[in-house]
A and B are shown apart, each in its own frame.
Chain A
Amino acid sequence: MSFLIESHPIAVAPLREWLASPDCGGFVFFEGRVRNHHRGRNVTGLRYEAYLELAQKEGRRLVDEVARKYGVRAAAIHAVGDLQPGDLAVWVGAASSHRDQAFAACRDLIDSIKSRVPIWKHETYTSGQGQWIEGCSCPPETNLATPTSMPTTLPLEDTFTDIIAKAQSGLGLNDETLAARAGASLPEISNLKNGVVDQVTLHKVATALGLGADALLALAQSRYNPSPIEVPEGLAHFNSVFDGMTVNSFLVWDAATKDAALFDTGSDGQPMLDFARKHGLKVKHIFITHIHTDHIFDLDRLVEKTGAHAWVCGKEPLAGAESFSLGRIFPLGSLMVGTRPGSGHAAGGVTYFIQGLAKPVAVVGDSLFAGSMGRALVSYADALRHNREQVLTLPDATIICPGHGPLTTVGEQKYANPFFAF
């Protein structure tokens, strides 16, 4: 329901009705209509064509992302087929308890639809001639002009129900044990896990799971949005799609010597290669945070293209990468890349701590996310301990670069991350 593609004319009324809700005091919508002119030519007609299977999927994804990011209800509908000047081509709407988020979400929705959804426009002019219009917006990963403009709109990796599930499985509690420990009924637990924000039960469950109740409630009520990070020179963030999710990778360099290192590869390292070439960087090392496929998918190709040395923690070796012992420090020009234990999500998890840029940087892999942490596939106790002792003891201003989701800081995670904020 959140994203639709329909033949012209599109029906907006059902979406408006679906969006309106008694708890939403602000409702902002935007209508994109067909213009009668384009670059000095009179437009008489217009045709939209969509790659429907993918457009539907991507549209739903982006509407969900925007809804989560701003904590709003959101929906959009795009027309396909033949339209005339004045006709409604696209409609997006966002409803929220407060108007600020609704305005921002509405803007983000229409911009994202234009750049991310596979729909193309063909214009016909008074002369009878026509042409396909080539989009001007590039996807973010190819936008090399703005090194720090990488995914600014990444949604949080986990919802409050994901977090409850991770803590529950980490502690090895089934619903019955959790209910008993929390002093809540099974239906109350089940409702909460289905996303119903019942504050009393949420508080009981958070306490039973050793989670910070205030931080968890803030996530549940969409009140936690990571503060925008001012990325220092010498750090660039990349994001690629892997198996229906997205994964981060990072490029770090010394501005004086141009010595550079990649941290993880994502599914496609090409944008990092393009960036390095454009900025004259010499990629010396590729550091792997842990060997899960989404983080190393493009490793062989990146090693081949850069001639760089690939490094991985010796606790979980990887063919094609050299193992190091934790505690080793790698110089990178005038920067220092320290290696700290980060196992818990993965056996060979590492936190790379980079000093020498305007702000300290911790590349943490899936150990820690903004507002959550990676599922403890190896040891929940180790995952918690390593985050507490190896990441959250770093200076508050340290920029945390996680394997998934938006960047954050140590200071922010101390109060916003339910696993660590008490």
Chain B
Amino acid sequence: MKTLIAAAAGQKQITISWFGALAEERGLLEETVGTTAHTAGDFLEDFASRHNVAGLRGHIRIAVNDEFAPPAHPLRSGDKVVFLMPFSGG
């Protein structure tokens, strides 16, 4: 429902994929949200301020369309975003 309202307001539609601890906390693997944020960093700030996801309060890197992106990376409607907690492979 939120998605529909956002689309009506002419916002950008961003698909978030969730992994690891963040997926578990959010209870979702993927969702699409509307935002007015211009950059990846603003989008993270915007999302974290509107949703209570404790994992987003630590050090988070961002990927846009399957590539690491700096906070200043411009966002376009339809982009796929992943918030990345510190990695623990190996």
Chain B nearest CB from A115 CB (Å) reads 7
| The stretch of A46-54, A377-385, A406-414 that contacts the partner chain | A46-54
Interface flags, A90-123, vs B, CB<8A=1, else 0 = 1000000000000000000010011111111110
- Assess whether A113 is in contact with B72, with CB atoms less than 8 Å apart: no
| Complex partner residue of A298 from B17, B70, B84, B87, CB under 8 angstroms | B70
Q: Decide: A120 near B90, CB < 8 A? Known: A267-B70, A268-B71.
A: no
Whether a CB of chain B sits under 8 angstroms from the CB of A133 is: yes
Instruction: Known contacts A53-B66, A57-B66, A90-B89; decide if A120 and B20 are in contact (CB<8 Å).
Output: yes
Complex formed: what's the CA distance from A58 to B89 in Å? 13
A23 within 8 A of B: no
Cross-chain contact B90 with A244 (CB below 8 angstroms): no
| Residue pair A51, B63 in contact (C-beta under 8 Å) | yes
Q: Assuming A54-B63, A54-B66, is B72 touching A297 (CB within 8 A)?
A: yes
A242 to B68 alpha-carbon distance, docked (Å)? 9
Question: Is there contact, CB below 8 Å, between A114 and B89?
Answer: yes
Within 8 A of A (CB), among B32-79: 58-59, 61, 63, 66-68, 70-73
Q: Given A49-B20, A132-B21, A134-B58: A120 and B66 within 8 A (CB)? A: no
Tell me if A's interface is mostly helix, strand, loop or mixed. Answer: mixed
Q: Is the CB of B86 within 8 A of A241?
A: no
Known: A54-B82, A118-B19, A139-B61. A298 touches B72 (CB 8 A): yes
| A136 close to B86 (CB less than 8 A) | yes
- Closest A residue, CB atoms, query B21: A132
* Interface SS majority for chain B: loop
On chain B, the residues within 8 Å of A242 by CB distance are 70
Q: Which residue of B lies closest to A300 (CB)?
A: B72
**CA distance in complex: A213, B44 (Å):** 51
A339 to chain B, nearest CB (A): 27
A117 and B20 form a contact (CB under 8 A):
no
- A49 pairs with B19, CB closer than 8 A: yes
Contact between B90 and A241, CB atoms less than 8 A apart: no
Q: Which of the residues B59, B67, B72, B88 comes within 8 Å of A119, measured between beta carbons? A: B88
B31 interface residue (CB < 8 Å to A) = no
Q: Which residues from chain B contact A136 at a C-beta distance below 8 Å? A: 86
Q: Which of B20, B59, B66 has the most CB of A within 10 A?
A: B20
Interface residues of A (CB under 8 A from B): 32, 48-51, 53-54, 57-58, 78, 89-90, 110, 113-122, 132-139, 142, 240-242, 244, 267-268, 270, 297-298, 301
List 20 additional contacts besides A120-B21, A136-B86; criterion CB under 8 Å: A51-B19, A51-B63, A51-B84, A54-B67, A57-B67, A58-B68, A113-B89, A114-B90, A117-B87, A118-B19, A118-B84, A118-B89, A120-B20, A120-B87, A122-B20, A132-B24, A134-B86, A142-B59, A241-B67, A244-B67
Can you name 20 A-B residue pairings with CB atoms under 8 Å?
A51-B17, A54-B82, A90-B89, A110-B90, A114-B87, A119-B90, A120-B19, A120-B21, A120-B89, A121-B89, A133-B88, A134-B85, A134-B88, A135-B86, A135-B87, A135-B88, A297-B70, A297-B72, A298-B70, A298-B72
